[in-house]
């Protein structure tokens, strides 16, 4: 079972439905105790970083997310759900994130329209990662955001961000971090549930990883 954390904000139902479409047993979960038994966890998010963090903490699902990550449960953050994995965001100074990933989220570079609200091409820095398996060299995904994790030297290799943290970027005035992964924690700045066949394939990759981690017989390979 994949728990889609329902803290009252975000693309909750669409993420749940898209996962169900690819064959996953996905359910909206608002009770932290229900999330504790899940085989996989998804943290969606849209809108303001501070409001999302406040709602997540008020619901108690912040602890459910952290417990799942600490236990090695496959985890997927989407859009602001990805941003909340970091230490904080320029959008909401003084509001701490979950701190699972080092660094902060910053505003997109100047000289481009904010938000980025469009389809954009992914540039795969780690094309062998199971998150992007089967997507081809330059898949298109749908973005809606004005902030993203800050690009720092070494994030795509050994260094502060961890080996291979950045799986994909896109170009929007400058390189923008579009997808990251550290162990069983995967996250995307774009919305796979709104990204057509490529997005559904990515969600199927996550569902396959959940099934394999749960020891489901005949679980598909990504």
Q: Catalytic annotation on 79?
A: yes
State the average pLDDT for the chain. 91
Selecting among 16, 129, 145, 193, the annotated active-site residue is: 193
- Quick check: is 138 catalytic? no
CA 110, CA 113: separation in Å to the nearest integer? 8
Given its phi and psi angles, is residue 155 left (phi above 0), alpha (psi -120 to 50 degrees) or beta? alpha
Separation of alpha carbons 54 and 58, rounded Å: 6
150-184 pLDDT, tens per residue?
876 555 543 344 445 899 999 999 999 999 999 99
In the residue annotation, 221 being an active-site residue is answered as no
Task: State pLDDT tens for residues 78-119.
Answer: 999 999 999 999 999 999 999 999 999 999 988 899 999 999
User: Could you tell me if 186 and 179 are in contact, meaning their C-beta atoms sit under 8 angstroms apart?
Assistant: yes
| pLDDT score at 161 | 43
Q: What is the DSSP string of 148-172?
A: EEPP-TTTTSSSTT-TT-EEEEEES
Instruction: Exactly one of 16, 145, 170, 191 is catalytic; name it.
Output: 191
pLDDT tens-digit map of 18-49:
999 999 999 999 999 999 989 999 999 999 99
Residue 207's closest CA among 65, 48, 20?
20
Q: 164's torsion region: left (phi>0), alpha (psi -120 to 50) or beta?
A: left
Give the domains, in start order, of the chain with CATH numbers: 2-213 (3.40.50.880)
Active-site annotation holder among 16, 79, 129, 170: 79
Average pLDDT value for residue range 116-128:
95
What is the structure's pLDDT at 12? 87
Euclidean distance between CA atoms 73 and 65, whole angstroms: 10
Residue 163, judged by CB atoms within 10 A of its CB (0-12, 13-18, 19+), counts as exposed
Share of the chain above pLDDT 70, in %: 91
Question: CA-to-CA distance for 43 and 134, rounded, in angstroms?
Answer: 23
């Amino acid at each position: 079972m994949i728990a889609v954390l329902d803290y009252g904000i975000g693309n909750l139902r669409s993420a749940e439905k898209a996962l169900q479409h690819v064959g996953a047993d996905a359910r909206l979960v608002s009770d932290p105790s229900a999330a504790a038994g899940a085989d996989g966890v998804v943290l969606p998010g849209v809108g303001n970083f501070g409001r999302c963090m406040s709602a997540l903490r008020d619901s108690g699902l912040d602890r459910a997310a952290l417990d799942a990550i600490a236990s090695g449960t496959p985890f997927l953050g989407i859009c602001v759900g990805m941003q909340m994995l970091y230490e904080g965001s320029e959008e909401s100074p003084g509001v701490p994130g979950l701190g699972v990933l080092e660094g902060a989220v910053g505003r997109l570079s100047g000289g481009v329209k904010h938000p980025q609200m469009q389809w954009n091409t992914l540039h795969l820095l780690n094309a062998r990662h199971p998150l992007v398996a089967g997507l081809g060299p330059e898949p298109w995904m749908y973005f809606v955001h004005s902030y993203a994790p800050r690009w720092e030297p070494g994030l795509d290799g050994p260094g502060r961000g961890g080996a291979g943290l950045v799986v994909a970027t896109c170009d929007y005035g400058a390189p923008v971090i579009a997808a990251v992964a550290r162990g069983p924690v995967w996250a995307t700045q774009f919305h796979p549930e709104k990204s057509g066949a490529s997005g559904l394939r990515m969600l199927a990759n996550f569902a396959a990883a959940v099934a394999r981690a749960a020891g489901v017989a005949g679980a598909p390979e990504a």
